[in-house]
Amino acid sequence: MTLPTDIRICDWTALPEGLSAHEVETPDGPESLILLREDQSVRAYLNVCPHAGRRLDWSPGRFMLEDGLLICAAHGACFELKEGRCVSGPCRGEHLRSVAVERADEAVWLSTPG
């Protein structure tokens, strides 16, 4: 699945430091994204665990974090946030699916990868 570009996700000023979840409407239906804001940069992943295809949050927009790791609420897989790599659990060595985003016009947008 390829996400379209030029979809506005949120206002930059409304994006909190750290992790947050955002629902975006695409031509194929809604997608849940995890945004990670660090100072003036942002990265994004699909809110889907590579182990079983379930959402990572235990309740919409609520994540389990411990020692800088994102923990899948369904099966306990632990992901480091810089690369999205699973460091323990049933999908060890796999990665969260990265989503290209960019900051422009004081908002965060889906962008073309690369």
User: pLDDT tens-digit profile of 9-68?
Assistant: 999 999 999 999 999 988 788 899 999 999 999 999 999 999 989 999 999 889 999 999
pTM comes to 0.89
Kindly indicate the confidence band of residue 112, based on its pLDDT and cuts at 50, 70 and 90: low
20 contacts 70 by C-beta, under 8 angstroms: no
13 conformational bin, left if phi > 0, alpha if psi -120 to 50, beta if neither: alpha
- CATH number among 2.102.10.10, 2.40.128.50, 2.40.50.140, 1.10.260.40, domain 8-110: 2.102.10.10
Kindly indicate the confidence band of residue 93, based on its pLDDT and cuts at 50, 70 and 90: very high
Q: Which residue has better confidence, 110 or 28?
A: 110
Cα separation, 10 vs 13, in Å, equals 9
* Res 5: pLDDT: 64
